[in-house]
Amino acid sequence: MDEFTLIRQWTRDLPTRPEVLVPAGDDCAVLRVHGADHDWLFKTDAVVEGVHFTPEAAPERIGHKALARCLSDLAAMGGLPLAAVITIGLPQVDEAARVQKIYAGITELARRYQMAIVGGETTRSPGGLFLSVAVWGWVERGRAILRSGARPGDAIFVTGELGGSAAGKHLDFEPRIREARWLMQHFDIHAMIDLSDGLAGDLRHILQASNVGAELLKRAIPVSRAAKQAALRASSAKPPLVAALTDGEDFELLFTVSSRDAVTLLDAWKQAFPDVRLTCIGKILAEPVLTLRDRNGVEPLTLHGFQHFCPSNSSAFPQS
Amino acid sequence: MDEFTLIRQWTRDLPTRPEVLVPAGDDCAVLRVHGADHDWLFKTDAVVEGVHFTPEAAPERIGHKALARCLSDLAAMGGLPLAAVITIGLPQVDEAARVQKIYAGITELARRYQMAIVGGETTRSPGGLFLSVAVWGWVERGRAILRSGARPGDAIFVTGELGGSAAGKHLDFEPRIREARWLMQHFDIHAMIDLSDGLAGDLRHILQASNVGAELLKRAIPVSRAAKQAALRASSAKPPLVAALTDGEDFELLFTVSSRDAVTLLDAWKQAFPDVRLTCIGKILAEPVLTLRDRNGVEPLTLHGFQHFCPSNSSAFPQS
């Protein structure tokens, strides 16, 4: 078991209170306070120089990304943001101009979702720039969409196109707040997650939380243009389908609904979001396996998300 | 104007919402949500290796400090914590054991205040360990104690003893949640702040927010044993009184009350908290000056908090 998985397990066993409906382990924590007609959502995340962005990245984009990551987690619960607090760790002195640009990126995104930024701490960080964001949001009482609700027979959907986010999307993506709100208002979404670790990794999070399995349809996986271009440019790059399954930071929504709703949902989606692709990529199974179907049959999907991805795995991936 | 002051000014002009009663700039943000009988408090803070702790510091103490700093800010508003989310940036691989100890420190403190830890993100941080904490708490509706309420004639009080925190207290201090709750329940506290930048710096925050001045009584300043010992050990160390005025990270409460309440408060405090010193150190003035009174008269206090402290200043300090 890898380090981050180990740590994730511990953090599910931290001190709790009666108000906590969902502790650490889903996209956001869910709390219900006596008397309120909504549930509260609470989430933190950080971006670090050299890990989530390069030193050359424009500060506005770094600010955007830091907040957008948290909003993507709120979206995955079906929620809306209310307020955020930001901590910036600054490596050098006299970086006031850089901080102003970082806040410009944060502010533009915050205004688009009518949220408040109510705290901005700044501290020294000799080791490099980092931004930590905590978001506080809400969802209608009892309506938070968890990872644990997937049921055998459900259709699996994904928004947008996957893979190759490192080429630029990881800094500029729009969190799918509007799409997620529309989904939860019009359909009975059983389970949802935002794609941060890659489709293969994040789908496993849904499967584990729901105690089910899944079969993906190989030719249905929506591969991004960026992933295809990367593969054309360098023979050492991942094959596009591998990128779509394993690249991190797509920040698209992955969700399941009853297969009865699948066609209606696709039709209504095209009306509501004509510019955002929505694809049915497979179905939920009762047995806890993850398989990939192509014209030759079904094989186990052994690829994992980007934290765990080892390039030598890619040759084991069925090419066709 | 220094960098951090500049940034603090910008962060008061960030996007807001009607729910925001107090934006960034006080110890916590204060939000009021329609229908609630309490106000919400929201705060973030971070500790960084090489800035807030050395690489040798025990991980349990680092965890304790990271959460305790935020709780100290909640205390300064008169509030109680409900939940926190944590982000840890890890410099090396295979640090799971270290993370477990950090969480042990966090957990012990969280249980003492019946709060939940509802999120624990872990990320790589090539430049060094950092912990970012966001706390969500509450206070009775309209009862948050701000920095802006000090009035001419108020008595100025400080808890505990000041200076020399770097010798150990900065890692182990207990946030003054209980004391602050007792104060706000039994007295009309006009203004309050927790001492993180040093008495001289943080008192100025109250004075600026309240548009008033203050006179401190030199012999009343409660100087810590640690500050006195540091001065005895090294002639290059700050004189103890300078340390008490300018050292950061005391995490004591500084507050003002009507002078009519001062004696009653001191008597009641001794009953309630026999082990915690409480000292009246001066009074609030109408004119916006900050002065220090000793047996020879009154002089302007030119010392600032620890971020701004320049050793050459100390010779300008009146020695007696």
**Nearest residue of chain A to residue B37 (CA atoms):** A35
A118, A267: one domain: no
Report the C-alpha gap between A236 and B119 in whole angstroms: 37
The structural domain count of chain A equals 2
Q: pLDDT at position B305, please? A: 67
* pLDDT at residue B306, rounded to an integer: 54
User: What is the average pLDDT across A6-19?
Assistant: 85
Give CA–CA dist A100/B10, Å, rounded.
Answer: 8
| Per-residue model confidence (pLDDT) at position B35 | 78
Which residue, B102, B121, B140, sits at the end of a domain? B140
Cβ–Cβ below 8 Å for A82 and B3: no
Among A64, A121, A197, pick the best mutation site for testing chain B contact (most B Cβ within 10 A): A121
Whether A112 and A186 share a structural domain: no
What gap in Å lies between CA B150 and CA B257, rounded to an integer? 8
The residue of chain B nearest to residue A37, with distances taken between CA atoms, is B35
- A123/B48 Cβ within 8 A: yes
The C-alpha atoms of residue B205 and residue B217 are separated, in whole angstroms, by 19
CATH number at residue A289: 3.90.650.10
**Which positions ≥6 away from B140 have C-beta within 8 Å?**
B37, B38, B39
CA-based nearest residue in chain B for residue A94: B3
| Mean pLDDT, rounded, of chain B | 92
Q: Confirm whether A150 is domain-assigned.
A: no
Nearest to A41 by CA among A24, A64, A16, A65: A24
Whether residue B305 contacts residue B246, with contact meaning beta carbons closer than 8 Å, is answered with: yes
Report the C-alpha gap between B233 and A2 in whole angstroms: 47
Provide, rounded to the nearest whole percent, the portion of chain A with pLDDT above 90: 84
- Among the candidates A76, A108, A140, a domain finishes at A140
Q: B285 CA to chain A: closest CA distance, Å? A: 30
- Please state, for a pLDDT cut of 70, what percent of chain A lies above it: 95
Mark yes or no for CB contact A51/B94 under 8 Å. no
Residue A1 confidence (pLDDT): 66
Residue type, B300: P
Q: What sign for the dihedral angle of Cα A67, A73, A76, A77?
A: negative
A220 touches chain B (CB under 8 A): no
Residues 247-266 of A with CB under 8 A from B: none
Residues with Cβ within 8 Å of A142's Cβ and at least 6 positions away in sequence, in order, are: A39
Residue closest to A78 by CA, chosen among A134, A36, A10, A22: A22
CB neighbourhood size of B280 (10 A)? 17
Assess if residue A33 is contained within a domain.
yes
**Which residue segment(s) compose the domain that B64 sits in?**
3-140
Cβ-Cβ contacts under 8 Å for B237 (sequence gap 6 or more): B230, B231, B243
Predicted pLDDT at B310: 30
Q: Are A166 and A293 in contact (CB under 8 A)?
A: no
CB B10 to CB A103 under 8 A? yes
Q: Do B299 and B154 fall into the same domain?
A: yes
Amino acid letter, A219: R
Q: Does A16 touch chain B if contact means CB atoms closer than 8 Å?
A: yes
Task: Please indicate if any CB of chain B lies within 8 Å of the CB of A113.
Answer: no
Question: Cα(B262)–Cα(B183) distance, rounded to whole angstroms?
Answer: 12
Q: Is residue A165 part of a domain?
A: yes
Query: Do residue A136 and residue A46 come from a single domain?
Result: yes
A–B interface: beta-carbon pairs under 8 A: 238
Name residues whose C-beta falls within 8 Å of residue B282's C-beta, 6 or more positions apart in sequence.
B155, B156, B214, B215, B216, B217, B220, B293
Could you tell me which chain A residue has the CA closest to the CA of B99?
A7
Contact B123 A48 (CB under 8 A): yes
Give me the residue label for tokens 């959460």.
B67
CA distance B210 to B176: 23
- Among A8, A86, A130, beta carbon nearest to B89: A130
CATH of the domain at B51: 3.30.1330.10
Residue A145 lies in a domain: no
pLDDT in tens, B9-59: 777 779 999 999 999 989 999 999 987 889 999 999 999 999 999 999 999
A272: tokens are 């509501």
Six-digit token string for A271: 């009306």
- Is A146 a member of any domain? no
Strand partners, B29: B42
Average pLDDT over residues A121-150: 96
Query: Which residues are paired to B292 by β-bridges?
Result: B216, B299
For the stretch A141-193, pLDDT in tens is 999 999 999 999 999 999 999 999 999 999 999 999 999 999 999 999 999 99
Q: What gap in Å lies between CA B103 and CA B83, rounded to an integer?
A: 15
Q: How does DSSP classify residue B310?
A: -
Tokens describing residue A289: 């396996």
Tens-place pLDDT, residues A226-257: 999 999 998 888 999 999 999 999 999 999 99
Same domain, A25 and A126: yes
Do B60 and B202 belong to one domain?
A: no
Listed residues A140, A167, A195: the one ending a domain: A140
Q: Does A147 map to a domain?
A: no
Decide if B40 contacts A117 (C-beta within 8 A).
Answer: no
Using CA atoms, how far residue B74 sits from B12, B145, B175, B207, in Å, is 19, 10, 9, 20
Q: Does A54 touch chain B (CB under 8 A)?
A: no
Least CB–CB distance from A111: residue in B10, B15, B117:
B15
Q: B204 with B154, same domain? A: yes
Q: Within this chain, do residues B177 and B308 fall inside the same structural domain, yes or no?
A: yes
Whether A82 and chain B come into contact, CB under 8 Å, resolves to yes
On chain A, the residues whose CB falls within 8 A of the CB of B124 are 48, 51
At A4 the pLDDT is 77
Contacts of A209 (CB under 8 A, 6+ apart): A25, A26, A146, A147, A148, A150, A191
The CA distance from B125 to A50, in Å, is 8
Sign of CA pseudo-dihedral B232, B236, B237, B242? positive
Q: Are residues A126 and A168 in the same domain?
A: no
Tell me if A148 is assigned to some domain. no
Per-residue model confidence (pLDDT) at position B1: 65
* pLDDT level of residue A314 (50, 70, 90 thresholds): very low
- A118 and A190 fall within a common domain: no
Residues B87 and B124 in one domain: yes
CB contact under 8 A, A125 and B130: yes
Q: Is the Cβ–Cβ distance between A252 and A199 less than 8 Å?
A: no
Distance separating alpha carbons of residues A260 and A262, to the nearest angstrom: 6
Secondary structure class of A307 (helix, strand, coil):
coil
Q: Which helix (H) or strand (E) holds A105?
A: helix A96-112
Query: With an 8 Å Cβ cutoff, are B16 and A116 in contact?
Result: yes
pLDDT of A119: 87
Asked if B144 has any chain A CB less than 8 Å from its own CB, the reply is no
**Tens of pLDDT, residues B168-187:** 999 999 999 999 999 999 99
Gap from A89 CA to chain B (nearest CA, Å)? 8
Strand order in the sheet with A130-140: A20-22, A29-31, A38-48, A130-140, A80-90, A116-124
A95 and A176 together in one domain: no
